[in-house]
Amino acid sequence: MPNKYTFLRNEEGLPIAVTMTFEEFRNLAPEIAEEYLTDEQLADVAARDDDGSRYPYEVMQRVLAGDHPVKVFREFRGMTQGELAEKVDVAGNYISMIERGKNPPSRKLQAALAKALDVDYGMLETGPSFEPA
């Protein structure tokens, strides 16, 4: 989109203000522009600017509520246990055991699971959470 600036000038012809499209303003001063966007517009901006490292609120709520992260991210990615098992070269029932907390994955398997689920290795960590005082 080409720049659309209009200069407002005083009686002497000196520039005193400039007008521009909101998109141009948002590019120049995003922190100020965001104050004038609705929640829906902010969500659209976040979705458009998503680099793949963001997850829906519902996904993270499930993890924080104690659901096994392998299960949560597998379901988020639309995979069955069998499909995930095939991607990481283990038996399907082994994924079930991991998701139920019966058999924690080795570090090597956890890395393979993270790659298959397209998440950071640490996102699949389980165990007691640290609550700051």
> What are 6-50's pLDDT values in tens digits?
888 889 888 888 888 877 887 777 777 777 777 777 777 777 776
Which domain covers residue 32, as residue numbers? 6-48
Residue recorded with tokens 């907390």:
101
Tell me if 18 is assigned to some domain.
yes
Query: Sign of dihedral through CA atoms 116, 118, 122, 126?
Result: negative
Confidence of residue 131 (pLDDT cuts 50, 70, 90): very low
Residue 84, classed as helix, strand or coil, is helix
Residue 5: per-residue pLDDT: 77
Residue 132: per-residue pLDDT: 40
Two structure tokens written together for 34: 């965001």
Phi, psi of 132, rounded to the nearest 5 degrees: -65, 150
Residue recorded with tokens 């407002």:
8
pLDDT for 91-127, tens place per residue? Answer: 989 999 999 999 999 999 999 999 999 998 988 987 5
Of the chain, the end-to-end C-alpha distance in Å amounts to 50
Asked if 40 and 76 sit in the same domain, the reply is no
Tell me if 1 is assigned to some domain.
no
Residue 133 has pLDDT above 90, yes or no: no
Tell me if 14 is assigned to some domain.
yes
Residue 14: per-residue pLDDT: 86
